[in-house]
Structure 1
Amino acid sequence: MFPAVIKAQTSPEVSSVIDTTQIKIGEQLHFEIRVKTDTTALVVFPEGQTFTPLEMVEATDIDTFRTEDRFDLIRKYALTQFDSGHYTVPRQKVVINNREFYTDSLRVTVNDIAVDTTAQKMYDIKPVQEVSGSYSGWIRFLLWGLLGALVIAAAVYWFFIRKKPLTEEEKEALLPPFDRALLGLKKLEESRYLIQSQYKEYYSELTHIVREYLEEEIHISAMESTTEELVAKLEMLQEAGKLKLEKSTIDNFKAVLQKADLVKFARSRPDTRVAEEDRKIIEHVVVRTREAIPEPTEEELLQQEAYRAELERKRRKKRRITLAIAAGCIVVLLAGAATVYFGYHQVKDTVFGHPTRELLHGEWVSSEYGYPAIVMETPRVLRRTKVDIPDAMKEAVSANQTFTYGSLMGSFHISASVTTFRQGVEFKVEDAIKGAVATIEQQGAKNMLVKQEEFTTPSGAKGIKVFGSMDIIAVPGSEKTVKANYVILNFNEKGAFEQVTIVYHRDDRYAPEIEERIINSIDFKNQ
């Protein structure tokens, strides 16, 4: 009988549009997806990097427009590409009420930026240049470290050391029990409990104040005691002479507690004037209880003094722990920053020390050794060492002078020797080199890899450089070995054979620099 209009549910519509198909490298194009559907439909737009090979820079929020009983949902995407070429924006999936719909794929061209080489000057690529390590930025590092330390120190002071302003609750908690009880009764008098007929809350607060006071002041368990138990404890203290309280005061106190029990548990509603009188009775009980407490004995005073001293000791201990933690945090921060800036090994060796690092950065000595003299710079002075000459060589050798630092089994070894021969003796450098290698093997070296090449010092002296690797015994008397590198420099100057030997562990980070500095300083004096 009544006319009605019935509309069939129409199918959703999904379309897409792009603002341009030509962009330059790095520019953005805007891709828009539009969905027309019913107002009750659940629509899920593409999320994430679904536009590959193009990169999605940004996706806007969904714009919603209502047209009669349908929604127009629009979402825009900013896309870009940093390589030139032709690209296809892939079909994008839109899910509507668990049904999948796809947009059309689109063709996009990314163009290069034109460069006018006639107006733009062209330059060759700069050659590779070595840059030595430098700590020129140590001032900036130091300033950042100090700033971080100041921030940590300020935070420790603000949160742990500084005396923070107390809140009202904290100030009340620091008051003596008597003053706190009177303050609580004063606030109860000014409250709106009685005006709003909240008698249960009024009497609950009233009994809580007096019970808390009795528990703190005369040290009895008042909070969990019933009315009868609490009154019995007060009477026992009175009879024992530990609480000089009148019987009438106890009776009045008992009456107020019983009335409070009726209000809290039996829903009794006393007159407002009676409630105010009960508060005054409790205030009188608090005052009389304080007056009734005997003066503390000398022993009790001593116990209180010891207790206060213990509290002060604990406060000092806590302050020291806090300062130690703050100092530790500062040290850890500085150590971490130094490790990041200088490197782990540099910081570790600086703090804990390293034998060859101390040699490298210590005070070097320039000296002459033997005759004809070898002049060179070393981290330590070389000491004269007596070397036994084999019987077969005694007739050919006129003199031998050897100077050493360290041992072959140590972390770093240097030796310099000058050998002169008698007139008419034919000397071969190759035989001397073989003898030097054999001597090292006799001292415990194994698996020697020998390389040989001609060598010229920065001062112009020519010689033969023998170098390589070997295994040396780490601890005398054991079979454990470590990898080591060695260098033997051989020179034949004015009828004398000069030899410089350097041996160090292969994994030593500082030894190669020491070796280079020693070799570059070698010179000879023949007068």
Structure 2
Amino acid sequence: MFACNQKSKEVQKYNMKKHLYLLLLLLSTAVFAQQKQVVTSIDTIKNKIGAEFKLSIKTTVDSSSRVLFPKSRNFGALEVIQSYPVDTVKIDGRYELTKRYGLTQFDSGRYVIPRFKIFINNQAFLTDSLLVEVANVQVDTLKQKMYDIKDIAPAEETMGNWWKYVLAILLLSGIAVLIYWFLKKRQEKKLQEEVFKTPIEKATTLLDTLERKELWQKGEVKAYYSELTDIARNYIEEAIEIPAMESTTSELIQGLRAASVKKKMTLSQEIIENLERVLKQADLVKFAKSKPLDFEITEDRNKIQKVILTLDKSIPVEVPLEEELLLNEAQKQKQIELQLRKQRKKSIQTAIVSVVLLVTAVTAYFIATRGFDFVKDNIMGHPTKELLEGEWVKSEYGNPGIIIETPKVLKRVDLTKTLPKNGMALIKEMQSFGYGSIVDRFYLMVSTLKYKAETQIDLAKSMDGALQSLEAQGAQNMIVKQEEFETPEGVKGLKAYGTFSQLDSQNKTTARMYYEALLFSQEGGLQQILIFHEEGDSYGNEISERVLNTVELK
């Protein structure tokens, strides 16, 4: 009687373990299998690097059915090295089709062969996912001949980062040229738009400016005479009020003679003749390509200056009425306000241009020295960078408790609805906490569960179940590597890490994710930590390292 009871207890314990492993396979999600229209098998689940795994897919169909098997070069991280012909066997009027693939991998680790679609009469059926292990080839150093270490070979010269410094120098040189051009144009425009009190003040100032340009000394005689005569014509038009800019030389001289009589100006014949001689000389230079001598150019300039000064002295001074004085004062005040407004506008423009140039220079410098990603992450922002640099929180989650430091407070997640009822019957208590979601570019989850009956938990099989459940939620082409993990307090567990592909259903893009998972078994319960982020995200790597370094188990 005692032996029967003992045997009954062992059978009951065996059945308990069997149900427990089934529960671990469905821990994070409920996967409902289709009818077994397609059967998947493999000749071995463990092989050496470069050895062949033979994957078989079997289905039974009618004679009129059309079956399409996948023609992929890779199944997950395993490479298809051979696609064998389909074997056909007729059984009771139906056909049993078997398709075999030869798979291999040249890196050690644990790999998941993902589920893929088989089309039977245009209807899709999913195969089962399989977990295989690729082991290193052991080298017998007693039989293998050893060779000396080769000498250091010179490395090929690479481009390096010199182009970044060239780019920075070119950008800074361009900015310097732009600043010089802007300041020069601003100075020229300021001289052109300067408000003069009287026409004679404007004429004498422009004559001095013309001399500082040294145009005729540089061979630009035509440009020199054009500006010289324009100054004289503009003065006559403003001071004597005759259309000098639009008149020919003869028309201008006639108009000046008439105006001198009308305004009772005392002009000598010599002044008018000097003006006429210089204007005709300018016409010859501009239209007949005449080239005066240096002393002739100097004399013509002096004649124009003397003509302008003489004309200004000969203009009768009229005493303005009080109303005209007030009007002139108002106009003068208006001109001053307009000038101040222009100056303020120029100051604002100068400030804006200076800021833009400074930002451009600083951006170019950081791009050249630290790279574009550094500038982009600090200016445009980066989600995981903000998490890393934010205020972290240290809290305890679940039972048995897990004390962990995270960038955000983890919120309670209800996973009980995703588990089958027969699995929930074995669980005494289950608590899950997470940040983000399974489809985000960053996800962190902590979960604990306790069973009603004490049982021995196999962490390796539990990890397999957790990873397969992650695959069932959308992870593809998963690469798995495992190693032991120990907390600072000496609690040992199992760590799995690797990469998988994740499909973004909204943007129709695929991202490669890096994950790390920890499993611990304490007090008849299971403690799990899962964290993943986009592969190559340096901020995500720092977050993962910091989180896992703070794990404490009660």
**TM-score, normalised via structure 1 length:** 0.52
Which structure 2 segments of 5+ residues have no match? 1-171, 208-227, 282-304
- 1:333 and 2:364 are equivalent in the alignment: no
Give the equivalent residue in structure 2 for 1:226: 249
Give the equivalent residue in structure 2 for 1:74: none
Which structure 1 segments of 5+ residues have no match? 1-147, 186-205, 240-244, 267-278
Q: Tell me how far apart the structure 1 counterparts of residues 389 and 277 of structure 2 sit (CA, whole Å).
A: 89
2:394 maps to a residue whose letter is S
- 1:438 and 2:468 are equivalent in the alignment: yes
The 3 A distance-change label for structure 1 pair 516 and 181 is closer
Residue 184 of structure 1, CA deviation: 12
Residue 346 of structure 1, CA deviation: 2.9
**Among residues 468, 473, 490, which one is paired with 1:460 in the alignment?**
490
Q: Which has the higher contact order (CA 8 A, sep 6+)?
A: 2
The 3 A distance-change label for structure 1 pair 495 and 283 is closer
Give the equivalent residue in structure 2 for 1:257: 272
Within a 5 Å distance, the mapping from 1:254-403 to structure 2 comes to: 256-257=271-272, 261=276, 285-292=311-318, 306-388=334-416, 389-403=419-433
| Alignment RMSD (CA, Å) | 4.6
- 1:507 and 2:536 are equivalent in the alignment: yes
Q: Tell me how far apart the structure 2 counterparts of residues 401 and 439 of structure 1 sit (CA, whole Å).
A: 17
Give the equivalent residue in structure 2 for 1:217: 239
SS of equivalent residue, structure 2 residue 429 = strand
**Among residues 434, 458, 483, which one is paired with 1:404 in the alignment?**
434
Give the equivalent residue in structure 2 for 1:29: none
1:445 maps to a residue whose letter is A
Which range moves more in the overlay, 497-506 or 360-369?
A: 360-369
- 1:484 and 2:492 are equivalent in the alignment: no
Residue 421 of structure 1, CA deviation: 0.4
**Residues 428-454 of structure 1: CA distance to partner in whole angstroms, max 9, x if unpaired?**
434432332232123222222223332
**TM-score, normalised via structure 2 length:** 0.49
Higher helix share: 2
Residue 332 of structure 1, CA deviation: 2.9
**Residues 398-431 of structure 1: CA distance to partner in whole angstroms, max 9, x if unpaired?**
1101011111211211111111001255644344
The 3 A distance-change label for structure 1 pair 263 and 425 is closer
SS of equivalent residue, structure 1 residue 512 = helix
Structure number with larger C-alpha Rg:
1
2:449 maps to a residue whose letter is T
1:257 maps to a residue whose letter is I
1:452 maps to a residue whose letter is Q
Within a 5 Å distance, the mapping from 1:7-156 to structure 2 comes to: none
The 3 A distance-change label for structure 1 pair 214 and 327 is same
State how many pairs are aligned: 328
**Residues 263-303 of structure 1: CA distance to partner in whole angstroms, max 9, x if unpaired?**
9989xxxxxxxxxxxx9998675334252597759777766
Q: Tell me how far apart the structure 2 counterparts of residues 407 and 511 of structure 1 sit (CA, whole Å).
A: 15
Residue 387 of structure 1, CA deviation: 1.0
Contact 2:391 2:407 in 1 (8 A): yes
Q: Tell me how far apart the structure 2 counterparts of residues 265 and 161 of structure 1 sit (CA, whole Å).
A: 32
Within a 5 Å distance, the mapping from 1:184-223 to structure 2 comes to: 213-222=235-244
Q: Tell me how far apart the structure 2 counterparts of residues 513 and 369 of structure 1 sit (CA, whole Å).
A: 22
Q: Tell me how far apart the structure 2 counterparts of residues 406 and 265 of structure 1 sit (CA, whole Å).
A: 87
Q: Tell me how far apart the structure 1 counterparts of residues 306 and 485 of structure 2 sit (CA, whole Å).
A: 110
**Among residues 512, 522, 544, which one is paired with 1:493 in the alignment?**
522
- 1:422 and 2:480 are equivalent in the alignment: no
Q: Tell me how far apart the structure 2 counterparts of residues 297 and 480 of structure 1 sit (CA, whole Å).
A: 78
Q: Identity rate of aligned residues, in percent?
A: 31
